[in-house]
């Protein structure tokens, strides 16, 4: 008798595993007001307080009735949306967002399901395509609403791609419509990068920091400057993290082997959060002393909290007590004065003593106090991060509660450093100056820096892009599993070069075949010229090319110093070094020609003269690039001599043409 098997693809099996893992998350404990099967989750206990009237997330299909008649989204798509929201709730449990951040994900799933219904996919999540995501954004809605839905769709796409459910969706991006105040030619996202002055401000703050709060914040920033990492990756580092000398190529996949470079002789252990495996992130040798000092400072200021966490691990569920209050456990009673001594000001934030069971006037049951203390422990205790396997007892960035804040330190509780605390330290608020304001670190214009931790990651990626590091290496260094994600972090200074070109009135020729892109400005000729330059400028090892490389192949690849479309910016050391190397190569070639001529060997005089002219021009260009008074100036390579034109192919064609004509005449 033939047997019938239920075939399931790898993607469908991955979806089932993804949903099963989400069902087992602790957020579906009995104390919460929802379960995985519900079509409405009340997540009030898992999100930060906000202005929303309720904290419910709906998973019904769009336009279905409310109440008992509401219809769920078809499976397995509906469960996959729930699982994505649950994963996001669990991942941000230590620093929860407002309910709208999670509600937007579910809402994006509803709009995506409506498109699936139109194509009759019947909830088959593995059949999704990039076109479905694009069509899921309603065109009739306001622009802000479209952007919100797009962000939710992008979150779903990346979560499902990482889980192996729909890897084809990983690189989807929403082409946002520019607002009336934006220019289509002004890549706002590409401008979000650290400047040299802001990097110097971080270094200055690191050296000026004296108090524990100042040293903790600046040390975290210093670690982020050592390797391109996300903030959440730094927060889950273990206390044993160290600088590894000569990590070797075994830490790099075989297809991405690094060449032997002394700059990448050291590394830090990291747990990437963007799809990459646990790894050692290479650290430039110049930053090794900075990383060692930062780690030393962090270990010093977190040692007390780590010892407390270790004691709590050995005594699970037991509240630590100072020696002066050790008697309260034996008698089971604690007075008001002893509670204030134990928690200092913290207990007043919890409606004074209402959570505690009062025995008589001014006396409370100690064990009710201990029960309240257990409920205040961080989520996931004693595990800080499941990704890295780090516990609070061996984590690098753990502190006693309120140790870094304005409240009196709670000696009985542990908390981890959060992204909100770092963000608050970088963004000045009324009554709370930024770390740069506290330390008096200013930019050259007198203002205080306003940066984010993610800009540091963009800055390091930009340095790698400018150094022509292979894309596979940049992706690995940044903890990515796809080189396609590198493009969002490529902030070469092309836009700055365009600004300098326009400011100095350099009218560079632009190929006639390039489509004219009209600026959103006032339509002047300068706007059109700037649009054309910005559309076509490209970065090269020698400078910037304003030629039409998009539509025409370059006939002078790697011979940019002989091209009139080359634009150089004085002060770029890498480009200056490449020009110098090109001159050395040309000088060697000219010397070889002269030696051949002196030895009586046949030398093409036109070629010799042309190469000598190219060498002379390159030396002149280099002399202008190394002059300190030209720092920041734009040099257009307008007087460059052309390449040598050879007539071999022309003569061969004419000879063949003549021979063919003779054959035709004879016939």
Structural domains present in the chain: 10-169 (no CATH), 190-254+261-315+394-491 (1.10.443.10), 317-381 (no CATH), 494-648 (no CATH)
Hey, which of 259-263, 404-408, 512-516 has the most confident mean pLDDT? 404-408
Quick check: 77 pLDDT over 60? yes
CB 140 within 8 A of CB 25: no
How many percent of the chain have pLDDT more than 70?
69
Query: Do 397 and 232 contact (CB within 8 A), yes or no?
Result: no
**Closest C-alpha among 72, 90, 80, 79 to residue 28:** 90
Cα(321)–Cα(460) distance, integer angstroms: 46
313-347 pLDDT, tens per residue?
Answer: 999 989 998 888 888 888 889 888 888 777 765 54
Planar angle of CA 600, 606, 607, nearest 5 degrees: 80
Mean pLDDT of 640-665: 58
Cα(152)–Cα(138) distance, integer angstroms = 13
Q: What are phi and psi of 333, to 5 degrees?
A: -130, 150
Lowest mean per-residue pLDDT among 154-158, 489-493, 563-567: 489-493
Say whether pLDDT at 307 is over 90. Answer: yes
Q: How far apart are alpha carbons 132 and 620 in whole angstroms?
A: 56
Can you tell me the distance from the alpha carbon of 271 to that of 281, in angstroms, rounded to the nearest whole number? Answer: 9
pLDDT at 508: 41
| pLDDT, position 187 | 44
Are 492 and 459 contacting, i.e. CB atoms less than 8 angstroms apart? Answer: no
Rounded Cα distance between 355 and 572, Å, is 64
Question: At 218, is the pLDDT very low, low, confident or very high (cuts 50, 70, 90)?
Answer: very high
pLDDT bin (cut points 50, 70, 90) of residue 259 is very low
Residue 522 vs residue 563, higher pLDDT: 563
**Residue 328 class from Cβ within 10 Å (0-12 exposed, 13-18 middle, 19+ buried)?**
buried
Burial of residue 59 (CB within 10 Å: 0-12, 13-18, 19+) is buried
Compute the average pLDDT of residues 31-43: 79
pLDDT of residue 311: 93
Q: What is the mean pLDDT of the chain?
A: 75
User: Which DSSP state fits 60?
Assistant: B
Contact 539, 560 (CB under 8 A): no
Q: In what helix (H) or strand (E) does residue 424 lie, and over which residues does it extend?
A: helix 419-426
| CB 618 within 8 Å of CB 589 | no
Position 2 scores a pLDDT of 45
Higher pLDDT, 546 or 483: 546
Q: Is the pLDDT of residue 85 over 70?
A: yes
pLDDT of residue 353: 57
pLDDT tens, 89-141? 888 877 788 888 888 999 999 999 988 888 888 888 888 888 888 888 887 77
pLDDT for residue 204: 94
Which of 46-60, 279-293, 506-520, 614-628 has the least mean pLDDT?
Answer: 506-520
Q: 542 Cβ partners below 8 Å, 6+ apart? A: 560, 561, 566, 568, 575, 578, 579, 582
Confidence of residue 1 (pLDDT cuts 50, 70, 90): very low
Tell me: pLDDT of 517 over 50. Answer: no
Can you tell me whether residue 238 is helix, strand or coil? strand
Please report the pLDDT score of residue 435 as a whole number: 92
Q: What is the mean pLDDT of residues 481-485?
A: 59
pLDDT score for 210:
92
pLDDT score of 221 = 93
| Distances from the Cα of 128 to the Cα of 76, 166, 666, angstroms | 12, 7, 68
DSSP per position, 574-632: HHHHHHHHHHHHHHHHHHHHHHHHHTT----HHHHHHHHHHHHHHHHHHHHHS-GGGTT
pLDDT for the residue numbered 519: 41
Give the burial class of 377: count Cβ atoms within 10 A of its Cβ; 0-12 exposed, 13-18 middle, 19 or more buried.
middle
Pick from 139-143, 162-166, 479-483, 516-520 the range whose average pLDDT is largest.
Answer: 162-166
Average pLDDT over residues 621-636: 77
User: Tokens 């002066």 correspond to what residue?
Assistant: 324
pLDDT at residue 354 is higher than 80: no
Please compute the mean of the pLDDT values over residues 483-506 and round it to a whole number: 55
């Amino acid at each position: 008798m033939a047997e019938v098997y239920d075939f399931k693809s790898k993607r469908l099996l991955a979806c089932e595993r993804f949903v099963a893992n989400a069902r087992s998350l602790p957020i579906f404990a009995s104390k919460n007001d929802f379960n995985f099967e519900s079509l409405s989750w009340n997540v009030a206990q898992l999100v930060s307080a906000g202005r929303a009237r309720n904290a419910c997330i709906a998973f019904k299909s769009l336009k279905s009735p409310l109440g008992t008649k509401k219809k769920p989204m078809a499976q397995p798509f509906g469960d996959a949306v729930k699982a994505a929201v649950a994963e996001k709730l669990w991942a941000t449990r230590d620093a929860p967002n407002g309910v709208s951040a999670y509600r937007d994900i579910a809402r994006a799933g509803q709009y995506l399901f409506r498109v699936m219904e139109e194509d009759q996919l019947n909830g088959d999540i593995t059949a999704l395509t990039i076109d479905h995501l694009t069509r899921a954004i309603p065109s009739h809605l306001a622009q802000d609403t479209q952007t919100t839905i797009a962000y939710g769709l992008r979150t779903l796409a990346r979560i499902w791609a990482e889980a192996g459910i729909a890897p084809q969706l990983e690189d989807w991006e929403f082409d946002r419509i520019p607002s009336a105040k934006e220019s289509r030619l002004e890549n706002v996202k590409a401008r979000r990068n650290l400047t040299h002055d802001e990097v110097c401000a971080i270094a200055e703050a690191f050296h000026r920091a004296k108090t524990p709060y100042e040293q903790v914040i600046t040390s975290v920033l210093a670690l982020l400057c050592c390797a391109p990492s996300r903030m959440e990756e730094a927060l889950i580092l273990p206390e044993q993290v160290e600088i590894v000398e000569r990590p070797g190529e075994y830490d790099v996949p075989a297809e991405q082997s690094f060449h032997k470079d002394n700059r990448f002789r050291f590394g830090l252990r990291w747990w990437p959060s963007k799809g990459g495996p646990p790894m050692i992130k290479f650290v430039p040798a110049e930053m090794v002393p900075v990383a060692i000092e930062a780690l030393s400072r962090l270990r010093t200021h977190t040692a007390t909290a780590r010892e407390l966490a270790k004691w709590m691990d050995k005594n699970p569920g037991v509240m630590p007590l100072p020696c002066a209050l050790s008697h309260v456990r034996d008698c089971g009673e604690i007075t008001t004065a002893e509670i204030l001594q134990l928690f200092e000001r913290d207990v007043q934030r919890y409606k004074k003593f209402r959570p505690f069971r009062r025995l008589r006037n001014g006396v409370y049951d100690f064990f009710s106090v201990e029960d309240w203390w257990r409920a205040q422990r961080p989520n996931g205790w004693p595990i800080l991060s499941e990704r890295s396997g780090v516990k609070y007892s061996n984590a690098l960035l753990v502190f006693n509660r309120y140790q870094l804040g304005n409240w009196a330190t709670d000696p009985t509780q542990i908390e981890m450093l959060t992204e909100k605390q770092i963000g608050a330290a970088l963004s000045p608020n009324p009554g709370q100056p930024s770390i740069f304001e506290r330390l008096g670190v200013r930019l050259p214009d007198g203002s205080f820096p306003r940066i984010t931790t993610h800009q540091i990651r963009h800055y390091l990626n930009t340095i790698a892009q400018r150094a022509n590091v292979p894309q596979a290496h940049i992706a690995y260094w940044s903890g990515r599993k796809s080189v396609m994600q590198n493009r969002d972090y490529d902030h070469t200074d092309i836009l700055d070069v365009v600004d300098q070109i326009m400011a100095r009135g350099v009218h560079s020729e632009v190929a006639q075949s390039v489509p004219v892109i009209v600026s959103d400005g006032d339509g002047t000729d300068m706007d059109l010229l700037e649009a054309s330059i910005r559309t076509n400028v490209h970065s090269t090892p020698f400078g910037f090319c304003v030629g039409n490389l998009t539509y025409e192949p370059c006939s002078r690849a790697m011979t940019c110093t002989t091209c009139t479309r080359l634009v150089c910016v004085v002060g770029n050391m890498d480009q200056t070094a490449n020009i110098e190397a090109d001159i050395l190569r040309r000088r060697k070639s000219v010397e070889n020609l002269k030696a051949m001529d002196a030895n009586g060997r046949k030398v093409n005089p036109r070629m010799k003269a042309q190469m000598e002219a190219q060498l002379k021009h390159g030396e002149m260009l280099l002399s202008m690039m190394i002059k300190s008074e030209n720092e920041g100036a734009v040099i257009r390579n307008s007087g460059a001599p052309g390449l040598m034109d050879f007539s071999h192919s022309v003569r061969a064609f004419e000879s063949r043409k003549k021979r063919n004509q003779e054959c035709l005449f004879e016939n």
